[in-house]
């Protein structure tokens, strides 16, 4: 088969639709492996940056990207016409939720429309965007077959879920095992062959549905366990027990326990969204995923709980929220990244500001924010800045924050991540309130 030979010889032209935190690292890996790669991105400002060799994705250093661009091993464009000559097309576009909490697959279907309009020879198409089980079989496959082509013979379709963990220095696109499920056995084999050129290990499964469900299981597992420990934190607070000490003690058990930690709420593209995709699809099959939905509710209420802790802590010091100077430390959804998607910090800032607090924030990874039509600019931390606050709230535990200085100079600290645990206990006890 011509396509198989092209992949084996690294002559297959690879097109990647969407150059975000998933697509760009993948494009770089294929280019480094010697494949001719075209990255397609609709955002013109991103295209301009990439063509200059400048990366906007933390896990892709500009020093690694620039020689690939300069050597024309990675072509960046906004023109989908380039799909006509692609041998392998990988879809890495967003899959958000609508306001009604239904899956929004419009980005995927727009990509599929562009592909379908240009199909005319053997092509391997792989979806990486997180979605619900059945998307490839029920939506994408019928659309691609409209042109008369037959899957497994004229074109090949597979699903391989992205498993990127932004900011993780140990686990990258190259060394994270790729799950691959094709519509047919031949589809799976070709997709495994393609990814096997650029990642250390592939794990084939029997169908696209299994691959689609595996990704949802991974993140639903985390969501449910985080909800459980968040609820445990609420219970412990009512009982006057330190939940962090409880978790530390339980984690000494060498079997049957995996520590999860409470926090101000879930953020990022995956954890707040993927379980909703699964529960939505379950309802389509007349099944109510009660545990998943309750977990989502618990996690969604954590920002409100944090605001309640702030208000209660201020009241105990004879202060009210209205007019209080509140500094949020960390706007990103996780440590040491600049991604604010679904970050609980944003909702906490909104609630505090709407109730009259004088809100500011500090995050070295997030320079500016737009919330409810208002622009916020990150404040550089200093003892003087901290002393001017009525309360400092640790939402994201960036490793660059000086927690000793924060506790020493802020009048009150609400620590949602237990980031100040190493600070002198005497000082911490007087100033710090945890979940």
Q: What whole-number distance in Å separates Cα of residue 110 and Cα of residue 18?
A: 12
The secondary structure of 334-373, three-state, reads: CCCCCCCCCCHHHHHHHHHHHCCCEEEEECCCCCEEEECC
From the candidates 80, 192, 236, 270, which is the catalytic residue? 270
CA dihedral sign of residues 357, 387, 421, 376: positive
Task: Specify whether 236 is catalytic.
Answer: no
What ranges in 52-167 are assigned the alpha helix state H?
A: 62-70, 106-116, 141-144
Burial class (CB in 10 A: 0-12, 13-18, 19+), 339: buried
What ranges in 139-288 are assigned the alpha helix state H?
A: 141-144, 185-196, 208-239, 243-250, 274-284
Q: Which two tokens stand for residue 395?
A: 């939402």
What ranges in 288-424 are assigned the alpha helix state H?
A: 290-300, 302-316, 344-354, 383-387, 403-409
Q: What whole-number distance in Å separates Cα of residue 246 and Cα of residue 205?
A: 39
Q: What whole-number distance in Å separates Cα of residue 168 and Cα of residue 187?
A: 31
Number of Cβ within 10 Å of residue 338's Cβ equals 17
Q: What whole-number distance in Å separates Cα of residue 156 and Cα of residue 153?
A: 7
**Could you tell me if 306 and 416 are in contact, meaning their C-beta atoms sit under 8 angstroms apart?**
yes
Catalytic residues: 270
């Amino acid at each position: 088969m011509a396509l198989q030979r092209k992949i084996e010889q690294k002559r297959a032209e690879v097109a990647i639709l969407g150059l975000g935190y998933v697509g760009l690292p993948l494009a770089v890996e294929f280019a480094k492996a010697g494949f001719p790669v075209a990255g397609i991105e609709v955002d013109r400002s991103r295209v301009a940056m990439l063509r200059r060799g400048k990366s906007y994705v933390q896990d892709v250093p500009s020093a690694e990207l620039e020689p690939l661009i300069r050597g024309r091993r990675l072509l960046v464009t906004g023109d989908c016409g380039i799909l006509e000559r692609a041998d392998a097309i990988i879809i890495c576009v967003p899959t958000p939720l609508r306001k009604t909490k239904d899956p929004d697959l419009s980005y995927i279907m727009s990509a599929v429309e562009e592909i379908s309009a240009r199909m005319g020879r053997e092509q391997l198409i792989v979806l990486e965007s997180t979605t619900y089980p059945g998307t490839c079989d029920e939506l994408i496959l019928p659309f691609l077959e409209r042109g008369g082509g037959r899957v497994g013979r004229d074109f090949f379709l597979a699903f391989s879920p992205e498993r990127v963990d932004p900011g993780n220095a140990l686990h990258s696109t190259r060394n994270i095992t790729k799950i691959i499920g094709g519509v047919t056995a031949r589809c799976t084999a070709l997709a495994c062959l393609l990814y096997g050129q650029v990642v250390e290990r592939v794990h084939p499964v029997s169908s696209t549905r299994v691959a689609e469900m595996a990704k949802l299981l991974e993140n639903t597992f985390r969501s449910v366990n985080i909800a459980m420990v968040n609820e445990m934190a609420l219970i412990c607070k009512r009982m006057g027990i330190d939940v962090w000490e409880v978790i530390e003690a339980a984690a000494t058990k060498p079997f049957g326990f995996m520590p999860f930690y409470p926090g101000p709420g879930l953020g990022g593209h995956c954890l707040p969204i993927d379980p909703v995709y699964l529960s939505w699809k379950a309802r389509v099959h007349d099944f109510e995923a009660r545990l998943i939905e309750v977990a989502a509710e618990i996690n969604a209420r954590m920002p409100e709980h944090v605001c309640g802790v702030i208000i209660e802590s201020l009241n105990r010091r004879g202060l009210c929220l209205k007019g209080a100077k509140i500094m949020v430390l960390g706007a990103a959804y996780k440590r040491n990244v600049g991604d604010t998607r679904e970050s609980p910090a944003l909702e906490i800032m909104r609630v505090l500001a709407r109730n009259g607090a004088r809100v500011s924030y500090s995050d070295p990874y997030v320079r500016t924010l737009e919330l409810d039509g208002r622009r916020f600019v990150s404040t550089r931390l200093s003892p003087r800045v901290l002393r001017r606050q009525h309360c400092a709230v640790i939402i994201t535990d960036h490793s660059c924050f000086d927690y000793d200085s924060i506790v020493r100079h802020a009048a009150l600290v609400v620590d949602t991540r237990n980031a100040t645990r190493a600070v002198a206990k005497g000082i911490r006890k007087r100033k710090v309130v945890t979940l």
